[in-house]
Amino acid sequence: MKTSTPVALPSARATLKDIARAVGVDVSTVSKVLNNGGISVRAQTRQAILDEAGRVNYRPHALARNLRTQRTGALGILLPDLTNPVYAETVRGAMRQAEKAGYVMLIAEVADEQRSTAAYLRLVSERRIDGLIIAVTAESREMIEAIANNPVPHVFVNRRSTIGRSVTVDDHASGRLAARTLIEAGHTRLGFIGSMPELDTSRRRHIGFIETCKAAGLGPAIVANAPVSRRGGYDALHHIMSEPAPPTGIFAFNMLVGIGALAAARVRGIQVPRDLSVVSLDGEDAIFTAPPLTAIVTPLSEMGARAVVELDAMIHGREPQDVVIDIAPQLVMRESVGPPPKIKS
């Protein structure tokens, strides 16, 4: 008869009492040493405690520690749209940094300002998080009151706000680079597809874009504002190309908007880049569009990571700061940009 080999059961977690008993000291002394305190403990005793803790592979009980510190070990992040490639890359950077700092990340997707306020209040009032990264527009009266009356350490990412610190990328530089790319390709009639005025990322890219157009002596760019979505870009491109003198080069301020603009161009029989050149922001889908989008790459992952760094500083009582990530946007030239169409005689 075949006998089975006994399965070794995991040993019980070592406790402070176990270490105290082995070394011959009080539990309070062990606790002080292992929590980087106990300055008055003799060096020999301190080393004995550390050696024993290492021998038994002592790991502090996270729940007990959090109860003592009144911390949850969790951060939250409020996002407007999980399908937006900008937020996917930003969240990846934030989650990697949060893990390094010993946090888990709770993600809440909110479609509008009213839901943003409700999500904020739910996360804060239920004490689920130690701090919050906010990637939604938060200038409504309801949100401002919610933050003022229910404070929690918070940092805005990819947004600037009057009610908290922010971490952003250089959106002005992205707008300037987009305009310069189209101008250097020979375009003189340009267009800009942006978002609603309250979205400050769109405003900054627009400012950089028109500044460069003016510096080059070009006339005003044709501007269409739309929701941050594929449909928004689709409708905006139809609007811009219905102008009496439509542009030959367009900057779509966002990846989703750029994808929608390409779709509208196909419907209208406009060939990109023969009839119209398009520049957008980079994302995972940029190389899969038809044609692949010429795009501007911004340090989104670094922005998410830095937001966690600044939030962690605030949680630990250090002074956070407004940060613009000091990495210049990079142009990735693909097939959606070419020279302007020849004027028919």
Structure tokens at 82: 């999980």
Examine the domain organization and report whether 284 and 307 are in the same domain. no
Q: Could you tell me if residue 345 is inside a domain? A: no
Residues 187 and 282 occupy one common structural domain: yes
Is residue 241 one of the residues assigned to a domain? yes
When divided into structural domains, the chain yields a total of 3
Structure tokens at 83: 């399908």
For residue 160, being part of any structural domain is answered with: yes
**What is the SS3 assignment for 247?**
coil
CA Rg value for the chain: 27
Any domain includes 5: no
CA-nearest of 118, 121, 80, 123 to 105 is 123
Q: What is the structure's pLDDT at 285? A: 80
| Residues 313 and 272 occupy one common structural domain | no
Phi (first) and psi of residue 295, to 5 degrees: -145, 160
For residue 10, being part of any structural domain is answered with: no
Q: Which residue has the tokens 């004027």?
A: 343
Domain shared by 81 and 56, yes or no: no
The predicted model scores a pTM of: 0.74
pLDDT at 3: 44
> What pLDDT, on a 0 to 100 scale, did the predictor assign at position 142?
67
* Structure confidence at residue 345 (pLDDT): 45
Residues 208 and 257 in one domain: yes
Tell me, yes or no, whether 274 and 183 share the same domain.
yes
Please check whether residue 329 lies inside any domain of the structure: no
Whether residue 288 sits in one domain with residue 245? yes
Q: Is 250 found in the same domain as 196?
A: yes
What CATH number is attached to the domain comprising 185?
3.40.50.2300
Same domain, 147 and 119: yes
Give the CATH number of the domain where residue 27 resides.
1.10.260.40
How far is C-alpha 80 from the chain's CA centre? Answer: 11
**291 and 245 in one domain?**
yes
Q: Would you state the pLDDT for residue 2?
A: 43
E strand or H helix at 212: helix 200-215
pLDDT (0 to 100) of residue 208: 96
- 7 assigned to some structural domain: no
Does residue 203 sit within a domain? Answer: yes
d(CA 298, CA 286): 13
Same domain, 189 and 291: yes
CB atoms within 10 A of CB 211: 14
pLDDT tens digits for the chain (345 residues)? Answer: 444 444 333 445 678 788 889 999 988 788 777 765 555 778 888 888 888 888 887 766 544 444 444 667 889 888 877 777 778 889 999 999 999 998 988 887 776 655 666 766 776 666 678 888 988 776 656 666 766 666 778 899 988 877 778 999 999 999 999 999 999 999 999 999 998 766 888 999 999 999 999 999 999 999 999 888 899 999 999 999 999 999 999 999 999 999 999 999 999 999 999 999 999 998 778 888 989 999 999 999 999 999 999 999 988 888 778 999 999 999 999 999 999 998 654
Note whether 291 and 335 are within 8 A (CB).
Answer: yes
Domain holding 316, by residue range, is 72-169+301-324
Domain match, 165 and 175 both: no
